Amino acid sequence: MTSSAGGLPGPYGGGGSGANLADILERVLDKGVVIAGDIKINLLDIELLTIKLRLIVASVDKAKEMGIDWWEQDPALSSGARHKELSQENAELRRRLEELESQAALTPAEKESREPRD
């Protein structure tokens, strides 16, 4: 049960023919692995809870090749997405401010009557 070099036997009868961890990891990242599952909890045909689990293990390049790039749009993960979100929020606030100012605006005659006179 010992190897010819006098060491311990490899796992699963290794003998040097099996792939090492780096090779396996390289293959997984190159090809990608998808694990998917759904958990649903129903009570008397009323759906109370649904949990959808999706796990994809792949390199960033492989994920982009598959059309998966959600991290680029997530403000918590991307500074570009955060900047875009802040710009949109700023534009929305400016629009709302202009709307409120226009609603509160007085007619020219009302402005003249309220201006202080010397």
Of the pLDDT bands very low, low, confident and very high (cuts 50, 70, 90), residue 113 is low
pTM exceeds 0.75 for this model: no
Give yes or no for a contact between 49 and 40, defined as CB atoms under 8 angstroms apart: yes
Structure confidence by residue, pLDDT tens digits, 32-63: 777 788 889 888 888 889 898 888 788 878 87
Cross-strand partners of 84:
none
Distance between terminal CA atoms of the chain? 109
At residue 2, the pLDDT reads 46
